[in-house]
Amino acid sequence: MAAGSEPSQPYTPESTAFRSALEVIRGVEPRVADAIGAEIEDQRASLKLIASENYASPAVLLAMGNWFSDKYAEGTVGRRFYAGCRNVDTVEALAAEHARELFGAPHAYVQPHSGIDANLVAFWAVLAQRVESPALERAQARHINDLSEEDWAQLRRALGDQRMLGMSLDAGGHLTHGFRPNISGKMFEQRSYGTHPATGLLDYDAVRAAAHEFRPLILIAGYSAYPRLVNFRIMREIADEVGATLMVDMAHFAGLVAGKVFTGDFDPVPHAQITTTTTHKSLRGPRGGMVLCDSSLAEYVDKGCPMVLGGPLPHVMAAKAVAFAEARQPQFQDYAQRIVDNAQALAEGLKRRGATLVTDGTDNHLVLIDVSGYGLTGRQAESALLDSGIVTNRNAIPQDPNGAWYTSGIRIGTPALTTRGLGTAEMDEVADLIDTVLARTTPGTTASGKPSKAQHTLAGGVAAQVSERAAELLAKHPLYPGIDLS
């Protein structure tokens, strides 16, 4: 802008705040400022369909960039190991209060830095409640990387050969639910339950049979790629029958619980003894985690720091408080319902075009496409869609022949597009864009001429055509319209 000239419209407070922040950053490291500016432009230009991503409000984003970042605050509200934490106490107490009211939970712990941290807090809280063991104390005193496989085996034996039963990865479960590449798979002897091979739906009789045979300490419900409802009343009944603690990981669908779309048997909080979640995804807050629990576990959960967490992040807790306050507003319930409406409309649009969907539809925010019907792997489909301005992620499907790396599925979700204001009528156009790309993509070959699971060829002009159509659709729903960085 030329010196002395005025913008055509007055800058909003949000524009002023973010422009000023970027100017300050640019004065120290301009490449970081440029990357931040480029990121918002990339997000504005992309059809974001990653089920685990969303757009936080300017208020949430701004709450993270302040002097709370400078504070150490180990401990809990009123019981800190550092002096000078009265303001941290205020924001942590506010975040916990909003979370309790939002979810109807007896207790909320808002310190976890991520979903995996929330799960670790939950695991150790259940273990600590069940047994106070010298082996447990020794394990806490040692660096996690110093524990050998035999150390873990001894620890599990000391804790009573603790076992975990959770949903298998290919059925839609999560890596943190007891699988070997994750630390949870070292802490527990794990067994998985899957879905019915014909329908892809949870088979509660099979879950019950597995629980009675395996006798787990923790029965985990929750998912990252299961497109249907889970009956948590039945899951609690199964847990009670075998003396297990029911833990629910609702990281993906917490916004649908907060927005009162999932109620009764489908709301995990009244049924689970302990519930974990991230605070972004469908909840639309900052990246972070949280644990909700009944009163019997509260004292153990509150020991998450220093048991498995480092110092809490007060600036992120401040942002959580803002996000939870937003989610308590009536309009959030309308937003949550529109997420599901959009996902179901998107699923129907894909089915009309011949796409094969896992479970033949959705009850929540996500849709899982079996792209083998297009002759593609998930990795090929993901790349072709990205070339065309559509951001998704490949995902395994039940009994996936391509494994967890190449996969046979694409997972798509509607929280982010719903935040931008797209509705059910526009989901048909989104479905057409996806189908157009996948139908015009063919597998590539390796250097030796064999079929490749990674390479693909997209028909000439399709990427540009679809990108242009996506841009036209997004132009009607600008992202952060109140923020002008120019």
Q: Which amino acid is at 370?
A: D
- Give the start-end residues of each E strand in 2-80: 47-48, 75-76, 79-80
Name the active-site residue from 14, 249, 326, 370: 249
Given a contact cutoff of 8 angstroms between Cβ atoms, the answer to whether 239 and 272 are in contact is no
DSSP state of 10: P
Going by the DSSP 8-state scheme, the letter that residue 262 receives in this structure is S
Helix (H) or strand (E) holding 181: none
- Select which of 26, 138, 191, 287 is catalytic: 287
DSSP string, 377-391: -HHHHHHHHHHTTEE
Indicate which residue of 11, 19, 26, 72 is catalytic.
72
- The length of the chain in residues reads 486
CB atoms within 10 A of CB 394: 23
CB neighbour burial string for 70-80, b if at least 16 within 10 angstroms, e if fewer:
ebbbbbbbeeb
Select which of 278, 377, 418, 441 is catalytic. 278
Question: How far is the CA of 342 from the CAs of 35, 85, 277, in angstroms?
Answer: 31, 43, 23
Q: How far is C-alpha 422 from the geometric centre of its chain's CA atoms?
A: 21
* 205 assigned to active site: no
Catalytic residue status for 406? no
Catalytic residue among 44, 163, 186, 281: 281
Q: Is residue 241 among the annotated active site residues?
A: no
Q: Has 281 been annotated as catalytic? A: yes
Q: Which of 12, 19, 74, 208 is catalytic?
A: 74
Q: Does residue 71 contact residue 334 with C-beta atoms inside 8 Å?
A: no
Question: Is residue 476 flagged as an active site residue?
Answer: no
Measured between alpha carbons, how far is 216 from 166 in angstroms, rounded to an integer? 10
453 is catalytic: no
Catalytic residues: 72, 74, 249, 278, 281, 287
